[in-house]
Amino acid sequence: MSNYQSAIEAVKAIKEKAGSSWDVINPESVARMRTQNRFKTGLEIAQYTADIMRKDMAAFDADKTKYTQSLGCWHGFVGQQKMISIKKHFNGQTDRRYLYLSGWMVAALRSEFGPLPDQSMHEKTSVASLVAELYTFLRQADARELGGLFRQLDAATTESEKAAIQDQIDNHVTHVVPIVADIDAGFGNAEATYLMAKQMIEAGACALQIENQVADEKQCGHQDGKVTVPHADFHAKIRALRHAFLELGIDNGIIVARTDSEGAGLTKEIAVVKEPGDSGDIYNSFLDVEEIDVADMAEGDVCFNRDGKLVRPKRLPSGLYQFRQGTGHERCVFDCIGALNAGADLLWIETAVPTVHEIAGMMNDVRKVHPDAKLVYNNSPSFNWTLNFRQQTYDTMVEEGKDVSAYDRANLMSAEYDDTELSAIADERTRTFQADTAREANVFHHLITLPTYHTTALSVDNLAKEYFGEQAMLGYVKNVQREEIRQGIACVKHQNMSGSDMGDDHKEYFAGENALKAGGAKNTSNQFN
């Protein structure tokens, strides 16, 4: 018996117990609604997706070609359309394809304060709200797709047709996939981190990404002015995340520990040292200090003992302490090893440029201690990918003794180089970057943090340019609607996408022949059949 038929029989049994007042309840209608609503709570989603991620992590350990990917989505509709597209283009499957929830985009696009920089100034609850919103839209995509199959089942005229559709229903692939969700630096102390984590997990998040910046000084990973915290502070927040997962029963929840140390030159605190060589001592060893005598101490100076000598760390007027130049690599490796020791599952290293050997260099050092250490890498729009990879290709050509006289390294972004040999090589290196870093640097998950911020801006610009210009209505018809039809974009029937047909189904379930349906001969959506 199929899952759908089993659901019908289960509802029949419930109906019989309820008595005559339930005579008008159709078990088949209820079974359809139950099938369309596979996940009842966010915690069900969190557990389901955590299991997927853990399975994918094990598969990656065995085969480095099986890395995972995601795109950052700032609205439920964006995430929904992404997963519908993936199912359409990849044989109805969603394997190894996730969603990313970007704190940057929450700040820029979802804050009640209006557009904000990526500095943890947006409302704490807005992140969990977006997790819930994304899963609401993904569940609706399931309901819409299954609703279409049920209507096909009703219209089928042969047993073979019915059997084929029934098989699609019983083996339906959900649009619900893991979300890697950005909790920034925890929005406060460890308790605040724990409370926010609970909200995010209850909304469905199975993977939480947290960074080692000071919560109230947080900056985007690709900007200046980043301030890190001693390991004791960061590890307390990692443990807060783990406790939140365990409290809610998601025992295999995933923690992604991000370090911004490669580009962060400042710290707010001198770490507490309990014994020589501990994490606090190592953290302090990276500080930029000068050896002084007691007599040289000025009023208000902060000094400490290092190897029996009195040293004074360089302190900015803001009160922040400065690390030595050139220590970013070492600090990143130190951070990563410490985070894994504290219970993190995956690592995230922010780099200045997307360079395979640089990422691999840091991960190779980490893997000397933790051989299975896996990385989440931000394929960030903050990088000028074209320029970076053209410059890397230029440098390789120079090393190989090739003639580069036709190129100006400082001006390689210029369109005049678009059809050159250098550009073709650079584009191929860009194309294989994910596979290369998965193989060379153990990058398990590749994401683009805010691509849909840029695609929205680009598409609106293209439409506005045409619609408000000489093309007028043709600007929309030719470049949007006609392309939707040609490419099979389901949203061309926007009423259907918004849930109108599902609403009609429900009206029929609830009111029978009295149902006032939106679908019918006069519905203009029929023009797109």
- Integer Cα distance of 74 and 106 in angstroms: 7
- DSSP states of 351-390 as a string? -SS--HHHHHHHHHHHHTT-TT--EEEE--TTS-HHHHHH
Helix (H) or strand (E) holding 291: strand 289-291
The catalytic position among 73, 206, 220, 332 is: 220
Per DSSP, the three-state class of 20 is: helix
- Integer Cα distance of 45 and 139 in angstroms: 10
Known catalytic membership, residue 220? yes
Assigned token pair, 55: 């399975």
Contact 197, 256 (CB under 8 A): no
Per DSSP, the three-state class of 227 is: strand
Query: What dihedral do alpha carbons 19, 25, 30, 31 form, nearest 10°?
Result: 70
- Integer Cα distance of 375 and 370 in angstroms: 12
DSSP secondary-structure letter at 529? -
Assigned token pair, 226: 């980043």
- DSSP states of 179-200 as a string? EEEE-TT-SSSHHHHHHHHHHH
Nearest Cα to 86, choosing from 175, 168, 172?
A: 175
Residues 6+ apart with CB under 8 A from 410: none
Note the residue count of the chain: 529
Assigned token pair, 434: 């994910």
Residue labelled with tokens 């290196």: 429
Assigned token pair, 8: 């019908």
Per DSSP, the three-state class of 99 is: strand
Amino acid type, 465: K
Helix (H) or strand (E) holding 71: strand 68-72
Q: For residue 332, which phi and psi values (nearest 5 degrees)?
A: -60, -45
Q: For residue 321, which phi and psi values (nearest 5 degrees)?
A: -105, 150
- Integer Cα distance of 82 and 423 in angstroms: 29
DSSP secondary-structure letter at 173? P
Nearest Cα to 105, choosing from 71, 152, 138?
A: 71
DSSP secondary-structure letter at 66? -
- Integer Cα distance of 74 and 118 in angstroms: 14
Assigned token pair, 364: 């190779």
Contact 149, 174 (CB under 8 A): no
Residues 6+ apart with CB under 8 A from 497: 144, 490, 491
Mind telling me the catalytic residues?
220
